[in-house]
Chain A
Amino acid sequence: MTKEKNILKKYPILGLILFGAVLALVPPLAEAGVLKNGYITTIGGTLIYAIAALGLNILLGWSGLISLGTAGFMGLASYISAYLTIDLELPFEAAFILAVLIPTLLGILVGLVSLKIEGLYLAIATLAVSEVLRKTFEELVPFTGGFSGKSADYPTLLGVFELDRTTTYYFIVAILVIVMILTYNMMNGKLGRALNAMRGSEAAAQAMGVNLLTHRLIAFALATVFASIAGVLYVHFIKFSYPSTWILKLSLDFLAIIIIGGLRSIYGTVLGAFIVFAVPDLFLKQIPYFENLSYVLNGLLIIVVIIFYPNGLVGIGYDIKKFFRKLRKGGKKDE
């Protein structure tokens, strides 16, 4: 047991890949009847949200910059990808690249603004960008379909491999693991340290040679890239994009994910996504008489988590370990 743990500590990438393998067990388990079939959609959707939340974690957790615009950027990417694959019949890969590139350029512009404004003001500015985008989704009917939304198909990879719901789920898991690995590598190296320094003290960061402008732009670019990737996956997995999806509530959900899961924690982000998106659907709705109150229960759960785990639910693992160690010690005393 301890040996296994050491291996995971030595090769953290291996842990992330194993984590992906566990997530990939969902469809076979659903097929075997252990899990409900609908779980694939719920969990797949949760993993998509986790990707966007990971981007927000880089921005808020590591860099200390707030954004309430995640939903807008994610939505923008979803519409672009749907438009390019359905209306222009571009291959999925080309649509993917463009649907990530365009929102990212916009995100970098917001990053430029962030040099001048901070804290709550930055939150309001990003919220404004997101609301402008949402309004555009409603009004730009030829491009977005207005209120009736825009539909898309499961992705076709390399023009040959037509994915279905299950294989798209695997695709999502693969992308999530890649994004987690890239985040791990970046945040545990020079870039992560520079972003940390920027959050801790701008003066010290500058004195150490960290260019604030470049690093704020990098943080915003990464956050938008991740949100856009999530947007593309969303529209090709859920197969629909409505303006009513990309609202402030979703951006706040992302905020809740990283605060519940743990700022600056990669696994915590995924855990937070499960608490915010999957738990109400998978568990709380099963409680009799509570179907319609599941989100109220979820709200209560979030409050409880924040009270007991202010540094994120990811700290629960440590507590469980401590508990078991205590139990073992207690047992020895009895002997």
Chain B
Amino acid sequence: MSKMENRVLSVEGLSIAFGGLKAVDNLSFDIKEKEIFGLIGPNGAGKTTVFNCITQFYKPNTGEILFKGHGDQVTELTTKPVHDIIKLGLVRTFQNVELIRELSIIDNVLIGGHIDFKANTFSQALRLPKARKEEKQYREEAEKILENLGILDRKDMLVGGQPYGILKKVEMARTLMARPKLIILDEPAAGLNDSETLELAKLIKKIRDEFNCAILLVEHDMRLVMDICDRICAINFGKLLTIGTPKEIQQNPAVQSAYLGVE
């Protein structure tokens, strides 16, 4: 498939309607390997719906979503159940940080490795050597990721009660456990202050460089988007406005009128 050359994700003619409302209407874009790609649009533009269609939380009415995952295998995502998406190398975060408060930080990160554990329930229950070795191996891997993100010293603390900035990092660490080819971040800057947002921008770039993955950023914070994205796709009312570099997007009259209204 030459279409997927240098591409990690290709969305073609994506549409989904809720009742009479066309939330996403014939949207097409693609994401290159190791690219930081922004998806922007005013409130209610359908960003989150696009996101949920890619991760199969919603099944689109029409359209093709191709993903080049582990081993350069190209998969049509719409044929897969939602819990199999991560196995292909596509992981998401959540707008409101969905972690388990009652578990320690490292256990939360280990949930990201769920699909990698090969030992079955039986050998876990009996703590057979194979299961024990596996647990140790992934625990070390999780520690490495936490160290990389600079929060290793907190690994045994409970998630409940941690500051928001830390929670965002824990969620990021959890996605990295799956060694993804593409990470989709759902409004990562929401609820962060200016300096935290700055740190987040650095972190996202660092993840792209060190973990060799592409990043799709769905974001409201224009400064963050303009700052780190290689290319941006702007949508409004479910329809594509334009795709381009941050500069092109800023100068695009359609984007300006979508955000600021028409004079």
**Which residues does A use to contact B, with CB under 8 Å?**
13, 182, 185-186, 189-191, 193-194, 196-197, 199-201, 203-212, 218, 264
Is B94 close to A, CB under 8 A?
Answer: yes
- A189/B111 contact (C-beta < 8 A), A204-B94, A204-B99 known: no
Decide if A185 touches B99 in the complex (CB within 8 Å). Answer: no
Distance between Cα atoms of A199 and B178 in the complex (Å): 21
The answer on a CB contact under 8 Å between A207 and B131 is no
Does A207 lie within 8 Å of B91, measured CB to CB?
yes
Would you call A193 and B125 a contact (CB within 8 A)?
Answer: no
Is the CB–CB distance between B98 and A201 below 8 Å?
A: yes
Which size class do B's interface residues fall under?
35 or more
Number of residue pairs A-B, CB distance < 8 angstroms: 89
Asked whether A203 lies within 8 Å of B100 as measured between CB atoms, the reply is no
A194 contacts B94, CB within 8 Å?
Answer: no
Question: Are B82 and A207 in contact, CB atoms less than 8 angstroms apart?
Answer: yes
B111 touches A193 (CB 8 A): yes
Asked if B79 is at the interface of the complex by the 8 Å CB criterion, the answer is: no
Q: Contact flags (1/0) for B93-111 with A, using CB distance below 8 Å?
A: 0100011111100010011
Given contacts A182-B125, A196-B102, A197-B100, contact A189 B131 (CB under 8 A): yes
**Cα–Cα, bound, A136→B177 (Å):** 50
Is B259's beta carbon under 8 Å from chain A? no
Interface string of B111-147 (1 = CB under 8 A from A): 1101101010100111100010001000000000000
23 residue pairs of the A-B complex, CB under 8 angstroms, read A185-B125, A189-B124, A189-B131, A190-B114, A190-B119, A196-B103, A196-B111, A197-B111, A200-B103, A203-B57, A203-B94, A205-B111, A206-B82, A207-B83, A207-B94, A208-B86, A208-B111, A209-B85, A209-B178, A210-B114, A211-B81, A218-B121, A264-B102
Q: Is the CB of A209 within 8 A of B110?
A: no
**CB 8 Å contact bits of B42-57 with A (1 = contact, 0 = none):** 0000000000000101
Q: Is the CB of A208 within 8 A of B124?
A: no
Contact with A along B17-48 (1 / 0, CB 8 A): 00000000000000000000000000000000
Which chain B residue has the least Cβ–Cβ distance from A197? B111
Residue of B nearest to A191 (CB): B121
**14 additional A-B residue pairs with CB within 8 Å, beyond A204-B94, A211-B81:** A182-B126, A190-B114, A190-B117, A190-B119, A190-B124, A194-B111, A194-B114, A207-B86, A207-B91, A209-B83, A209-B87, A209-B114, A209-B178, A210-B114
Per the bound structure, the CA–CA distance linking A196 and B101 in Å amounts to 10
Flag whether B174 is at the interface (Cβ < 8 A): yes
Interface-central residue, A186, A209, A210, A211, by most chain B CB under 10 Å: A209
Question: How distant is the Cα of A138 from the Cα of B205 in the complex, in angstroms?
Answer: 68
Contact A200 B99 (CB under 8 A): yes
A265 CB, min distance to chain B CBs, angstroms: 11
B250 smallest CB distance to A (angstroms): 32
B residues 144-174 near A (Cβ < 8 Å) are 174
Decide if B100 touches A199 in the complex (CB within 8 Å).
Answer: yes
What residue of chain A has the Cβ atom nearest to residue B131's Cβ?
A189
The verdict on B196 contacting chain A, using a C-beta distance below 8 Å, is no
Q: Is the CB of A209 within 8 A of B124?
A: no
Q: Is the CB of A208 within 8 A of B87?
A: no
A193-B119 in contact (CB<8A): no
**Which residues of A have CB within 8 Å of B98?**
200-201, 203-204
**Within 8 Å CB of B131, what residues of A?**
189
CA distance A189 to B116 in the complex (A): 13
Is the CB–CB distance between B92 and A191 below 8 Å? no
Can you name the residue of chain A whose Cβ is closest to the Cβ of B184? Answer: A207
Docked pose: A21 CA to B174 CA in angstroms: 40
A264 to B100, CA, bound (A): 13
Give min CB distance, A312 to chain B, whole Å. Answer: 12
Q: A200: which of B86, B100, B117 is its contact (CB, 8 Å)?
A: B100
Shortest distance between the CB of A27 and any CB in chain B (Å):
29
> Is the beta-carbon distance between B83 and A210 smaller than 8 angstroms?
yes
B84 within 8 A of partner (CB): yes
Contact A207 B84 (CB under 8 A): no
Contact B82 A185 (CB under 8 A): no
Chain B CB count within 10 A is highest, among A190, A203, A264, for A190
9 residue pairs, one from A and one from B, having the closest CB atoms: A204-B98, A200-B100, A201-B98, A209-B115, A209-B86, A190-B117, A189-B124, A182-B125, A185-B127
Q: How far is the CB of B61 from chain A (nearest CB, A)?
A: 21
Given contacts A207-B86, A208-B111, contact A189 B102 (CB under 8 A): no
> A197 CA to B109 CA in the complex, in Å?
11
Q: Which residues of B contact A191 (CB under 8 A)?
A: 121, 124
CA distance A201 to B57 in the complex (A): 14
List of B residues within 8 angstroms of A199 by Cβ: 100
* B99 A208 Cβ-Cβ under 8 A: no
* Structural contact, B87 and A196, CB atoms closer than 8 A: no
How far apart sit A194 and B86, CA to CA, in the bound complex (Å)?
Answer: 14
Does the CB pair A186–B111 fall under 8 Å?
no
Please give, as numbers and ranges, the residues of chain B lying within 8 Å of A185 by CB-CB distance.
124-127
| B residues less than 8 Å from A201 (CB atoms) | 94, 98-100
Complex Cα spacing A200 to B160, Å: 12
